[in-house]
Amino acid sequence: MNNYQIITDSGCDLPKSMLSSLNIRLQPLLVNFRGQTLEDSVDDGIQEVYAGLRAGDVATTSAINPEGWKTVIEPVLKEGKDALVVTFSSGLSTTYQSAVIAADELLETYPDRKIRVVDSRAASLGQGLLMNYICTKRDEGLDLDALADWVEENRLKLCHWFTVDNLMFLKRGGRVSAATALVGTMLQIKPVLHVDDEGHLINMSKARGRKASILALAAKLQEAGMQNDVAYICHGDCLEDAQYLADYLKANCGVKEVFIGYTGAVIGSHSGPGTLAVFYLGNNR
């Protein structure tokens, strides 16, 4: 049995039930919403957050700081175990840098223990799908260093393709200009976005109308090819659209297994209701 614990953050958007079954410990990012500071989650209150965003409420988010990381890493070290910490993309958050600081400080107190911190370069269920593969490799018997090396060698094979329904949320985050958001909204232009090799969210193409943008996600999958027949889909409170994409992938793209889940409160606060994304293992991004 491997004497290490896998730890990640809520940027992975995995539900509690799956985290438990995979034996992953989680540290949440934070969401400031309606005067309260909430832990990022896809289980608790997520529909209320999206209802508020639709009503015009503004949510702000906070990365995990070093002290936050220590609260989840240190108990593992006290148990006599080592830790593999896999974080939300450094291209989208300072969470990775904070985990490195926390690990360095904890190793001064626990010099006989080992902590590997790996930047997933992934987001949402792209990070979640990566965590699933990581746990499979753990269960195959990889030791801590071999598993951390495997993550670093394979993380850029996790393909991410997104679309959003409301450009105004991207405008708030500085992803598009006010003029682009206004014109795009008037013309029903939907962006098709991608997470690049550095873990940044970038605009790749455009589609006219919601259905066309959903089909564009499927087309990206077909163009890139898959290493297996598993896809993860996340949605910003638009389950019907997510199910439409899943059914299309199964009928037309050779996908046999699809997991559908929510886009969490932190990512959803920036991408907005109607966000839809597909993730899968490809040859490269």
Q: What's the pLDDT tens digit per position in 199-256?
A: 887 777 788 889 999 999 999 999 878 888 999 999 999 999 999 999 999 999 999 9
Q: Where are the beta strands (DSSP E) in the chain?
A: 4-9, 24-27, 30-33, 36-39, 60-62, 82-87, 115-119, 158-163, 189-195, 201-208, 230-235, 257-262, 276-281
| pLDDT score recorded for residue 179 | 46
| pLDDT score recorded for residue 285 | 81
Range in 44-58, 78-92, 154-168, 239-253 with the lowest mean pLDDT = 154-168
CA atoms within 13 A on the CB side of 192: 20
| pLDDT score recorded for residue 52 | 95
Query: What residue ranges do the domains of the chain occupy?
Result: 4-155, 158-281
Q: So what CATH class is 158-281?
A: alpha beta
pLDDT greater than 90 at residue 68: yes
What is the SS3 string spanning 63-97? CCCHHHHHHHHHHHHHCCCEEEEEECCCCCCCHHH
| pLDDT score recorded for residue 173 | 55
Question: 4-155 and 158-281: same fold?
Answer: no
CATH architecture, domain 4-155: 3-Layer(aba) Sandwich (3.40)
Mean pLDDT of the 111-132 span: 97
pLDDT greater than 80 at residue 18: yes
Q: What is the per-residue pLDDT across 181-198, written as a single tens digit (0 to 9) for each?
A: 444 555 566 788 888 888
| pLDDT score recorded for residue 182 | 47
Q: Where are the beta strands (DSSP E) in 134-213?
A: 158-163, 189-195, 201-208
pLDDT greater than 70 at residue 176: no
Cβ contacts of residue 53 below 8 Å, gap of 6+? 59, 169, 268, 269, 272, 273
DSSP 8-state secondary structure symbol assigned to residue 141: T
pLDDT greater than 50 at residue 8: yes
pLDDT greater than 90 at residue 25: yes
| pLDDT score recorded for residue 166 | 72
Mean pLDDT of the 85-92 span: 96
More confident residue, 143 or 173: 143
Range in 30-34, 56-60, 163-167, 241-245 with the lowest mean pLDDT = 163-167
